[in-house]
Amino acid sequence: MGHDVVEIAVPPVKSIGKAKADAINKPIEDCDAAIVSGPEHLERWIKTFYPRWDSYTFPKIAWYHESFIREDYSLDFSDYERRYTHHFFPDARDAEKFKGEHLSLGIDTEIFHDLRTQPRDVEVAFIGLLYEKRARFLEEVKPHLGDIKVRVASGNVLVQDLDGINVEKSTELLADQYRRIQVFVTFPSLSNVLVAKVLETMACGCTLVAPTQPVHLEKYYAYETPAECAKQIKRALTNPIGACAAKEAKKHSIESRFETLLEKAGLQCVTA
């Protein structure tokens, strides 16, 4: 996008000592702004790497990943309110309540994209965390499916090397797995946001079956109940719209999200 970016990597460990933190820490005092993607997950790392964070005077932008009120836990906005100058929320209700901006997460379309030459050998599938709410919903869907089977890979698709989890390789493998699937079905989540999985699968050319999304989204089969979910899976198999879904997903690229974020934060968006 024409900006010089200082990458701040988060090591794939639960804790880190000061010596190691200092070894990989990159100075940000001269930055024009800092964007923290998922501050609710990175707060302890910021405190470790940048103990002078509160004294920095440049714009500090928080782009949250979660609803502040989820079914399994809640976040306290007072923990973040004064540590950031701008707040962007994926949940429109939070944006209104805390007087911030509503901005859904976007996707990397260089990794998540359709490959028409790759055969789709999996009819219906779900990849992701199959926690209790989703597992229970899936069991309620099954009696309505007849002979249709939903293949499930519960958990995250991860590649590990000698340095730990390789995020880039893991993401590429996940995209490859999506591109094998004809119909991707996802189940109700614990928060009220447009999750990345929805956009990723659409971008990879899957025909998506999903709960009605909390933002305007086209080219997917929406449902409310287990019976409706099964009905939409059958419709998706008969009338695939993966190619149209891939075009729709491009509207939600991470580049366009950052352009919106910078503009609303009052920062100039420079194009190369």
Encoded amino acid at 88, one letter: F
Same domain (yes/no): 142, 41: no
Same domain (yes/no): 259, 238: no
- Taking the CA of residue 151 as centre, how many other CA atoms within 13 Å lie in the half-sphere pointing to its CB? 12
> How would residue 12 be classed by pLDDT, with cut points 50, 70 and 90?
low
Same domain (yes/no): 214, 127: yes
> How would residue 4 be classed by pLDDT, with cut points 50, 70 and 90?
low
- For residues 263 and 272, give the distance between their C-alpha atoms in angstroms, rounded to a whole number: 16
Looking at residue 178, what is its pLDDT? 95
- For residues 139 and 235, give the distance between their C-alpha atoms in angstroms, rounded to a whole number: 20
Same domain (yes/no): 199, 129: yes
Provide Rg for the chain, Cα atoms. Answer: 20
Tokens of 196: 């990345």
Range of the domain at 151: 122-250
- For residues 203 and 201, give the distance between their C-alpha atoms in angstroms, rounded to a whole number: 5
Q: Which residues on adjacent β-strands are paired with residue 210?
A: 222
Looking at residue 272, what is its pLDDT? 47
Same domain (yes/no): 220, 154: yes
H helices present in the chain, as ranges:
18-24, 39-49, 92-97, 132-141, 167-178, 196-203, 226-238, 242-250, 254-264
The residue with greater pLDDT, 240 or 163, is 240
Q: Does residue 74 sit within a domain?
A: yes
The residue with greater pLDDT, 155 or 251, is 251
- For residues 173 and 171, give the distance between their C-alpha atoms in angstroms, rounded to a whole number: 5
Number of domains in the chain: 2
The Cβ of residue 73 has, within 10 Å, a number of other Cβ atoms equal to: 10
Same domain (yes/no): 88, 140: no
User: Which CATH number does the domain housing residue 203 bear?
Assistant: 3.40.50.2000
> How would residue 116 be classed by pLDDT, with cut points 50, 70 and 90?
confident
Same domain (yes/no): 50, 86: yes
Same domain (yes/no): 56, 130: no
Q: Does residue 112 sit within a domain?
A: no
Q: Does residue 13 sit within a domain?
A: no
pLDDT exceeds cutoff 80 at 5: no
The residue with greater pLDDT, 45 or 72, is 72
Q: Does residue 59 sit within a domain?
A: yes
pLDDT exceeds cutoff 70 at 149: yes
pLDDT exceeds cutoff 60 at 119: yes
| Max mean pLDDT range (37-41, 108-112, 206-210) | 206-210
What average pLDDT does this structure show over 33-58?
87
> How would residue 8 be classed by pLDDT, with cut points 50, 70 and 90?
low
Q: Does residue 270 sit within a domain?
A: no
Q: Does residue 1 sit within a domain?
A: no
Q: Give the model confidence (pLDDT) of 52-87 as tens digits.
A: 899 999 999 999 999 999 999 999 999 999 999 999
DSSP state of 139: H
Quick one: residue 85, left, alpha or beta (phi over 0 = left, psi -120 to 50 = alpha)?
alpha
Same domain (yes/no): 139, 230: yes
Q: Does residue 7 sit within a domain?
A: no
Same domain (yes/no): 167, 99: no
Q: Which residues on adjacent β-strands are paired with residue 183?
A: 124, 207
Same domain (yes/no): 127, 190: yes
> What distance lies between CA 270 and its chain's CA centroid?
25
Same domain (yes/no): 97, 160: no
Q: Give the model confidence (pLDDT) of 233-254 as tens digits.
A: 999 999 999 999 999 999 999 9
Looking at residue 2, what is its pLDDT? 44
